[in-house]
């Protein structure tokens, strides 16, 4: 999935109950007994030949492999053997594959999943080349407003499809937004790591977590995700996008603390700081959009990513600078897509004229043939002169009336 990775490689699933993972801190490495030593040339599931190791995290390893059946390079996420023994953790990895496989727009594509004979689950995904947005932020510093707008439009496009299918990501952060470089040099944002996602069907919500268990990265979690994790809806992703935009624009997180409890307290009680405190070149309209995403009462946020995208699109049209990221297509709902379908093209008039001429020509040919064979009588000039007198001699009477003596 990732050709180069930053801090977590998209493999960690942090919990609120765990200590926060601070930027620059060393990633926790599994013990030697947990490591799945796969050298180049080894095979996974008898089909995927290992080319190189991309990275590792708290849950497993990520390998670049060659699919010997379809002759293409892929990424294979393989869970640690010790964690694979935990049914809940293994089920989360398989759920990530199931959810991501339903999505097509701005999401790392899932090709296959399964379980090894030794018990480790694995996911096969597209191999991406590039780096995640945290690596971009770390290397280049805060992004230009036009870059943030263009990138977030692509993220909104991917989230719109996920939300339409009832999928809530719940762990959006710069590490899970991958800047994939395409063969033509363009950069496309891909959403990765649906390991802690929830799926809503009707009024019921399915998840692999306990109803009272908060899952996600505390710095990016919405207030309701902290207090009532089982009652979150798509607006929790909008909050996370607000945190991501704030961080990409300023280089710092809006809510910070020395531990999990203080971070959660800041999210629940402290107002979001102003972006203008950190830089002066951010348009006020963009700061307003970020602040609206960070409303603690979710009813005051953007109701969905479609409206957020519309606000970003309107603001982006006023920014003459060209972004390094590929602009996403406008977001439309299914009903709008049907309404926007082009009307059927009217038939050209000359087609009707040709059809009429063909019919007239056919009738003329039939008449000429009938006259030649004597089946159709052509009246003479004298017979035509007698037609008026014959018509005058005809007597007409109205039906269903009995004539009176006077008539």
- Catalytic residue set: 171
Report whether 148 contacts 286 (CB < 8 A).
Answer: yes
Contacts of 56 (CB under 8 A, 6+ apart): 9, 11, 27, 29, 30, 62
Burial letters for 366-396: b for 16+ Cβ neighbours within 10 Å, e otherwise? Answer: eeeeeeeeeeeeeeeeeeeeeeeeeeeeeee
* Cα radius of gyration rounded to whole Å, the chain: 35
Classify residue 304 as left (phi > 0), alpha (psi -120 to 50) or beta: beta
CA distances (Å), 45 to each of 67, 88, 365, in order? 10, 22, 75
How many whole angstroms separate alpha carbon 309 and alpha carbon 302? 10
Say how many CA atoms lie within 13 Å of 131 toward its Cβ: 10
> How big is the chain, counted in residues?
407
Q: Largest alpha-carbon pair distance within the chain?
A: 127
DSSP state of 272: P
**If 0-12 CB within 10 Å is exposed, 13-18 middle and 19+ buried, where does residue 175 land?**
buried
CA distances (Å), 82 to each of 36, 45, 116, 267, 373, in order? 10, 19, 14, 34, 98
Secondary structure in 3-state letters for 274-294: CHHHCCCCCCHHHHHHHHHHC
How many whole angstroms separate alpha carbon 320 and alpha carbon 10? 34
Report whether 236 contacts 299 (CB < 8 A).
Answer: no
Report whether 77 contacts 62 (CB < 8 A).
Answer: yes
Report whether 64 contacts 55 (CB < 8 A).
Answer: no
How many whole angstroms separate alpha carbon 35 and alpha carbon 400? 106
Of 282, 155, 305, 180, give the one whose Cα is nearest residue 235. Answer: 305
């Amino acid at each position: 999935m990732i050709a180069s990775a930053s801090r977590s490689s998209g493999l960690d699933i942090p919990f609120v109950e765990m200590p926060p993972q601070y930027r620059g801190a060393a990633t926790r490495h599994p013990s030697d007994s947990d490591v799945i030593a796969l050298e180049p040339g080894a095979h996974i599931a008898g089909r995927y030949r290992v080319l190189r190791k991309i990275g590792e995290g708290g849950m497993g390893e990520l390998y670049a492999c060659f699919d010997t059946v379809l002759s293409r390079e892929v990424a294979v996420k393989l869970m640690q053997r010790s964690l694979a023994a935990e049914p809940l953790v293994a089920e989360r990895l398989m759920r990530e594959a199931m959810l991501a496989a339903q999505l097509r727009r701005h999401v790392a594509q899932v090709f296959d999943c399964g379980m090894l004979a030794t018990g480790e689950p694995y996911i096969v995904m597209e191999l991406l080349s590039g780096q995640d947005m945290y690596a971009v932020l770390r290397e280049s510093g805060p992004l230009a407003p036009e870059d943030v707008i263009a990138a977030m439009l692509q993220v909104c496009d991917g989230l719109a499809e996920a939300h339409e299918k009832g999928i809530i990501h719940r762990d959006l952060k710069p590490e899970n937004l991958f800047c994939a470089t395409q063969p033509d040099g363009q950069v496309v944002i891909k959403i990765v790591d649906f390991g802690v996602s929830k799926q809503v069907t009707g009024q019921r919500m399915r998840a692999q977590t306990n109803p009272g268990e908060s899952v996600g990265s505390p710095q990016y979690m919405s207030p309701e995700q902290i207090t009532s994790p089982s009652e979150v809806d798509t607006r929790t992703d909008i909050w996370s996008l607000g945190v991501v935009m704030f961080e990409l624009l300023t280089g710092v997180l809006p809510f910070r603390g020395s531990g999990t409890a203080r971070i959660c307290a800041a999210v629940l009680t402290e107002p979001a700081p102003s972006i203008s405190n950190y830089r002066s070149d951010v348009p006020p309209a963009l700061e307003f959009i970020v602040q609206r995403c960070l409303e603690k009462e979710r009813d005051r946020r953007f109701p969905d990513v479609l409206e957020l995208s519309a606000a970003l699109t309107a603001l982006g049209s006023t920014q003459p600078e060209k972004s390094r990221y590929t602009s996403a297509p406008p977001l439309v709902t299914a009903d709008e897509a049907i309404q926007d379908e082009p009307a059927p093209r009217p038939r050209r008039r000359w087609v009707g004229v040709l059809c009429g001429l063909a019919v007239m020509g056919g009738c003329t040919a039939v008449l000429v043939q009938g006259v030649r064979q004597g089946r159709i009588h052509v009246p003479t000039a004298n017979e035509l002169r007698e037609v008026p007198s014959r018509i005058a001699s005809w007597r007409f009477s109205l039906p269903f009336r009995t004539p009176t003596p006077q008539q």
